[in-house]
Structure 1
Amino acid sequence: MTERHSRWERTGSDQHNAAYEEARASLLLGQMVYDRRTELGLTQGELAERAGMTQPQLSRLESGGATPTVPLLTRLAAALDAELDITFRPHREAAA
């Protein structure tokens, strides 16, 4: 038999790497929100109210379980008395 069942095929490592990077970015963003919130001495409920969202939504975002939209990031930045800085930077060159 030369045919393989599609369920037995392994997904490519590129798909795994992309999913890992997305999860990593969500966790880093959540950590930044948490760090700034605690620096300001705000509870999740207080920040959520300032940003026009619910406390459970903020909790999911801080834990990396939610990916915010750009408008939400803008509201969060204002609620955190911070600037929102979204940039595109070239990848670092691999060391030779």
Structure 2
Amino acid sequence: MTLKEYKEKRMKDPEFAKAYVDMQPEMEVIRALIDARISQNMSQKELSEKTGIAQTEISKLENGTRNPSIKLLQRLADGMDMVLNVTFIPKEKMMK
């Protein structure tokens, strides 16, 4: 069974589907931060030096043990010469 097939099977369970949808914003922020940093060929240390945010804090953000504020995300985006973009999408799209 592939991961996609497993997810499709589990999404039929309403309790699982709700938990999955509820945790997606956090997961998307983590993925976006890591992908952006890597796309800029930056280490956590380099991003730390550019933003003044401790490397340990960046690590916590990327590990999901700390939830960032919008202001902090903007500082990180600036440090990567990027713009922060927030998107709202219908829940139905997350259920697929």
Bigger relative CO (Cα 8 Å, ≥ 6 apart): 2
- Deviation of residue 86 (structure 1)? 1.7
Q: What TM-score does the superposition give when structure 1 sets the normalisation length?
A: 0.65
1:48-82 per-residue CA deviation (whole Å, 9 max, x = no partner) reads 22222100100010112211001101111111221
Structure 1 unaligned segments of length 5 or more: list them. Answer: 1-12
Corresponding residue number in structure 2 for 1:63: 63
Q: What TM-score does the superposition give when structure 2 sets the normalisation length?
A: 0.65
RMSD of the TM alignment (CA)?
A: 2.5
Alpha-carbon distance change, 54 to 84 in structure 1, aligned in 2, over 3 angstroms: same
The aligned length equals 78
Q: Secondary structure at the match of 1:25?
A: helix
Structure 1 residue ranges (4+ consecutive) displaced by more than 2 angstroms after TM superposition: 24-28, 87-93
Query: Which is greater in Rg?
Result: 1
1:15-72 per-residue CA deviation (whole Å, 9 max, x = no partner) reads x838x724x4223212221111112111101102222210010001011221100110
Alpha-carbon distance change, 89 to 25 in structure 1, aligned in 2, over 3 angstroms: closer
Corresponding residue number in structure 2 for 1:48: 48
Higher helix share: 2
Distance, in Å, in 2 between the alignment partners of 1:43 and 1:73 is: 16
Q: Which amino acid aligns with 1:62?
A: E
- Deviation of residue 90 (structure 1)? 3.8
Distance, in Å, in 1 between the alignment partners of 2:67 and 2:82 is: 19
